[in-house]
Amino acid sequence: MDADGPIRSAPPAGIAGEGHDRADERRERDLVLAEEQAALRRVAAVVAGGGISADVFAAVTEEVGKALGLPYVDMLRYEPDGTATVIGAWGEREHPFSVGTRWALDGPTITARVRETGAPARVDDYTDVPGAFAETVRGAGIRAAAGAPIIVDAALWGVMVTAADRGPLPDRIEQRLAGFTELVATALSQTQAREELRQLAKEQSALRRVATLVARGALPADVFAAVAGEVAQLLELPLVEMSRYEPDGTATVISAVGEHAFATGTNWSLDGPSLAAQVKRTGLPARVDDYAHVPGSIGEAARATGVHAGVGAPIIVGGDVWGVVSAGGGARVPLARGAEGRLSQFTELVATAISNTQAREDLQRLADEQAALRRLATLVAQDAEPRAIFDAVAEETGRLLRATTVNLAHFAPDGVNVTMSGWSLRGVHVPTGTRIPIDGGSINAIVRRTARPARCDTYEGVEGDLAAHLRRLGIRSEVGAPVVVEGHVWGALIAGTDEPEPLPRGTEHRLAEFAELIATAVANATARSELVASRARIVEAAYDERRRVVRDLHDGAQQRFVQTIMTLQLARRRSDDDPDMAGLIDEGLESARAGLDELRELAHGIHPAILTNHGLAAAVESLADRAPLPVEIDIPDERYPPSVESAAYFVAAEALTNVAKYARANSVRVTAATVDGRLRLEVRDDGVGGARSSSGSGLSGLEDRVAALDGALTIDSPPGGGTRVGAEIPLAPAR
């Protein structure tokens, strides 16, 4: 070592060459890194421009491809049905993975592996990868690929894939790719947040508009139409329908928007896993992403009219699933994520509108129903004639239930349906008195058999004479409720319509309340008839007893009086020589004759023989002969039932007695005639009037006698206007 320091020897030539190579590699890596960072900055600038669009996706994929030096880059969005849609693509030459194409993930491809793991992945050789998608990859000349997930708000949103036509790919290419997907995810998240905010504002505006309608008490039909329009616009789904679930397990469309098979008024069977069926079964929102393989009538109709997918949400009214709102579109109309949940907000407003309207309608219907029931109950309580009650119930029921026709039918013991009363809007009810055998499947036969409210929604094809008769009258459907008297089905109250649509569900149960009033009226009439018949039997028995007493008096005591008088007369002739004895006999004769007269008068008061032997006209003429004033008589010379003749005679006798005692009349007139099966008797005077049945005149007892025969006694006696006593007595006993 000299003064200048140690002598450095030059490195060998090979070692110097290696140093230069490593330096070149570092410079190349730095250059690639710088280019990659520049590309990242350019991508960041692109995605920060205010929104994600097809142009942005195209720009990003191109930047990524050029930065990584690979010939193919694709960006795909994962779909809910397990497929992936290309949303951005770049390549040095044309390939099948163009923007808008949709691919099934049927093998362990990059796209499928990233979706499964949520992590970056790579395939260095596609030669032996199975599946149709891998086959398409190989067909495009691609030999290797790498991919990184696009994570948006902690959820796997899509994947970015880069590929080459030769392998292997550079090391850590998938991790380098992840830097770009993070920028895309950030942009998507920001754009999605802005879109969700904008969508929320639109949604709230739409909800406010519908809520305003509901708050104003709009009719459900108006609310339905508004909701259908708002939903179609908000969810960008052209087909919207609203359906009501029916008790028979079907669904009826009550409002619809768009061109499809589910028009307003159509009725559908829930015979497959359609939206309507799922919502009905679960009471929860549902979605169908593809109707291609959905069986049942709704699935077939959806496919036939181009409906590809849809969402549905339940309408809950009073805790029950009342109906469903469905929205959907064709194959090119995507279903937004969470669409069924957003739809539910509108169905809640629909439910409120229905509840409000139903509450108002129920309240009004209840008020009308109670008013009608009160009117009819008043008639029943007043013991009105059954026919008047029957007619009133028929009309009140028809108008309240908005039926076309109402009939009250009695089921006779011989199996015949007897129409007791009827009412109709257009003269289509079964006429009163019609007798038709109860056969076939008519509502009458059903109610008679089950003793329960029932309905027959169509008479088409229903067998039996009664059903045929109803068809001839134009009646299409009926509901009925039994009239139960003393535990037995006496008959039925029937309401029907000649309209195509049957009466609403539940009408038969509302009808039952009116049938109960009919039952009460029938029971009252039966009881009254039995009471009248019982009282008539008592009157008849009393009449027979009076005749027996009179006969016994005539044949017994009266004959003894006559025999005594004859004996005394004989003794008188033989006692001429003894004045004292003659005086005693004369006194006995006088007493016997007086007793005989009193006995005859008593017998006449109990029941005059002339009434029994010659009838009412002769008996009243006998009364007139003994009256102290002129009596004009106009009574037909014909016979009536004995009890009727007896009651009429005693009314006339009491009235004439009162005229003689109190009326200060100059004349009196007695008339009788038969009117509508009743004997009508009238005693009219020209006296001072002022008579009352409660004044102790004896008329109050006659009221009971006449009432016992189901008759009525009336007194019209204004002061100074004379007195009219009238009696109406049925000639035949009540049944």
> Worst-scoring range by mean pLDDT, 74-83, 372-381, 551-560, 598-607?
598-607
Segment holding 481, helix H or strand E? strand 477-485
Mean pLDDT of 394-413: 86
Whole-number pLDDT of residue 38: 60
What is d(CA 165, CA 217) in angstroms, rounded to the nearest whole number?
Answer: 68
The answer to whether 508 and 454 are in contact (CB under 8 A) is yes
Q: What is the mean pLDDT of residues 178-193?
A: 73
Stretch 281-298: mean pLDDT, rounded?
A: 87
What pLDDT is stored for residue 147 in this prediction? 92
654-683: b (≥16 Cβ within 10 Å) or e: bbbebbbebbebeebebbbeeeeebbbbbb
Cβ contacts of 109 within 8 Å, gap of 6 or more: 123, 129, 131, 133, 134, 137, 145
Domains of the chain and CATH, by start = 22-194 (3.30.450.40), 217-360 (3.30.450.40), 383-607 (3.30.450.40), 609-730 (3.30.565.10)
Give tens-digit pLDDT for 578-610: 666 766 676 666 666 655 555 555 444 555 777
Q: What is the Cα–Cα distance from 308 to 289, expressed in whole angstroms?
A: 7
Q: Tens of pLDDT along 85-121?
A: 998 898 888 888 888 888 988 889 999 999 999 999 9
pLDDT tens figures, 471-527: 888 888 899 999 888 888 888 888 989 888 888 888 888 888 888 877 777 766 554
> What pLDDT is recorded for position 520?
76
pLDDT at 623: 84
Kindly give, in sequence order, each residue whose CB lies less than 8 Å from that of residue 360, ignoring residues fewer than 6 positions away.
217
Helix axes 339-381, 173-215, angle to 10 degrees: 20
What values do phi and psi take at 633, rounded to 5? -120, 130
CA-to-CA distance for 719 and 721, rounded, in angstroms? 6
Q: What is the rounded distance in angstroms from the CA atom of residue 477 to the CA atom of residue 459? A: 6
Whole-prediction pTM value? 0.37
Does position 14 have pLDDT exceeding 80, yes or no?
no
636: left (phi over 0), alpha (psi -120 to 50) or beta: beta
Band of pLDDT at residue 665, cut at 50, 70 and 90? very high
Quick one: pLDDT at residue 453? 92
Q: How far is CA 548 from CA 544, 552, 610, 618, 705, in A?
A: 6, 6, 15, 21, 19
Lowest-confidence segment of 313-317, 433-437, 695-699 by average pLDDT: 695-699
Question: What is the residue-averaged pLDDT of the chain?
Answer: 78
Tell me how far apart the alpha carbons of residues 5 and 227 are, in angstroms, rounded to a whole number: 96
**C-alpha span between 354 and 66 (Å, rounded):** 61
Specify the higher pLDDT residue, 356 or 657.
657
CB 97, CB 125: distance < 8 Å: no
pLDDT score of 166: 78
Confidence class of residue 8 from pLDDT cuts 50, 70 and 90? very low
* Nearest by Cα to 147 from 224, 91, 82, 64: 64
Mean pLDDT in residue range 321-350: 77
Inform me whether the pLDDT recorded for 545 exceeds 60: no
